[in-house]
Amino acid sequence: MSKINAAITGVQGYVPDYILTNKELETMVDTNDEWITTRTGIRERHILKGEEKGTSILGIEAVRGLLEKTNTDPAEIELVICATVTPDMLFPDTANIIANALDIKNAYCFDLGAACSGFLYALTTGAQFISSGMHKKVIVVGADKMSSIVDYTDRTTCILFGDGAGAVLLEPSDEFGHIDAVLKSDGSGEPYLHQKAGGSRHPATVETINAGDHFIYQNGRPVFKAAVSGMSDVVKQVMKRNNLQNDDIKWLVPHQANHRIIETVARMADFPMERVMVNIHKYGNTTAATIPLCLWDYETQLKKGDNLVLTAFGGGFTWGATYLKWAYDPS
Ligand code: ACO
């Protein structure tokens, strides 16, 4: 019996309307457009404004668009996985909130963490349910409202992040789809990238709030170094394991954290930048949403049978690379 692959049969992204430019950030912290652009490649990011609006709002819009463009009846969806580090609340899971808003009544739903690698972890998880023959239609959504955990007085982090969501539909295919993944994690990375409070170790108190412990903490240099070596290493591993030469890969799809990281990974893995997806300049780092937002932006350039390698690195540390064959031509 031939292996059942999980093919991406549709992709949709969503970013909120408000655009936070480098110029506006200059009025908030001691920074400038030139520093941000040369050190990170980011020019603007989208921010979800308004009271009581959580990550689910972003995920709902992405999944709504996905259902519409793939002509999918919500009742057919059997599983929804939402990768996020900024859930609406600790429970219920944001995947449940997204499904409920869209009348996805016959699915079970759960969230998955893994920070910036969340989408890759969720994609591989969702793909297993298709490959096992258990499900026929699975939605994987990466969504983060990073502005909810960013300290807009900290110039070292507030310039980096944006809000957004991207969703894919997974369906069985014997020819295309998710072929292989190398996923890694290393808990010793915790000191360099984390959110100190709000969990069970340090529940919210007046002290944790006053100390700013509910915001992202990042020591950028060690994260940069680990991201570069981690991603280039797993990209090479997944290619070697599948006997792929660089020319066999149409697109490298890296997590969008810093343009310099993307360029260095591409150079170390021997990919020309013309075959590397980049949209960090307009969205910044949207954590679990960067990779599906790339696929959405480049969808019209993707052709049936194209080989793609997706790679990410994030808090944890977590990282990985996924090899897939694109399943459809542009419409
Ligand atoms: N504007 C102006 N100056 C700044 C700014 C700013 N926004 N931010 C920092 N600086 C200053 C620093 O204070 C420092 O000044 P000093 O030399 O006087 O001390 C100087 O610029 C250099 O700072 P570095 O931190 O060394 O700058 P670096 O070149 O490393 O860039 C950055 C910082 C962009 C954060 C980089 O380290 C990076 O991209 N790290 C990895 C990010 C990442 O991949 N994260 C993983 C995913 S996130 C997730 O999982 C949620």
What pLDDT digit, counting tens, does each position of 204-244 carry?
A: 999 999 999 999 999 999 999 999 999 999 999 999 999 99
Yes or no: say if 261 and 228 are a contact pair by the CB < 8 Å rule.
yes
Q: Is the pTM of this model over 0.95?
A: yes
- CA–centroid distance, 218 to ligand 1, in Å, is 9
DSSP letter (8 states) at residue 161: B
Give CA–CA dist 3/172, Å, rounded.
10
Q: What is the CATH number of domain 180-325?
A: 3.40.47.10
Give pLDDT < 70 ranges for the chain. 1
Q: Is 220 in the pocket of ligand 1 (CB under 6 A)?
A: yes
- How far is it, in rounded angstroms, from Cα 157 to Cα 25? 11
**CA 268 to ligand 1 centroid distance, Å:** 22
User: What is the predicted pLDDT for the residue at 2?
Assistant: 77
pLDDT score of 331: 82
Asked if 276 contacts 284 with a C-beta cutoff of 8 angstroms, the reply is: no
Is the domain defined by 5-176 classed in CATH 3.40.50.10490?
no
Residues with a catalytic annotation lie at: 116, 255, 285
Identify whether 92 is preceded by a cis peptide bond (ω within 30 of 0). yes
| Cα 223 to averaged position of ligand 1 atoms, centre (Å) | 10
What pLDDT is recorded for position 73? 98
Residues of the chain within CATH 3.40.47.10 domain(s) are 5-176, 180-325
Q: Mind listing the pLDDT tens digit for each residue in 288-320?
A: 999 999 999 999 999 999 999 999 999 999 999
Nearest residue (by CA) to ligand 1, atom 48, is: 314
Any residues with CB less than 8 A from the CB of 225 and at least 6 apart, and which? none
Ligand 1 close to Cβ of residue 86 (< 6 A): no
Q: Residues 14, 69: contact at Cβ < 8 Å?
A: no
Alpha carbons 315 and 218: distance in angstroms, whole number? 9
Three-class secondary structure of residue 292 per DSSP: helix
Assess whether the C-beta atom of 228 lies below 6 angstroms from ligand 1. no
For residue 77, give the amino acid letter.
I
- Which mutation among 21, 24, 35, 39 tests ligand 1's pocket best, with the greatest number of atoms within 8 A of CB? 39
Nearest to residue 186, comparing CAs of 143, 129, 227? 227
Report the nearest atom of ligand 1 relative to the CA of 314. 50
Which pair of structure tokens corresponds to residue 219?
Answer: 């020591």
How many angstroms separate the alpha carbon of residue 42 from the centre of ligand 1? 13
Chain centroid offset of residue 30 CA: 29
Token match 């040369």: residue? 38
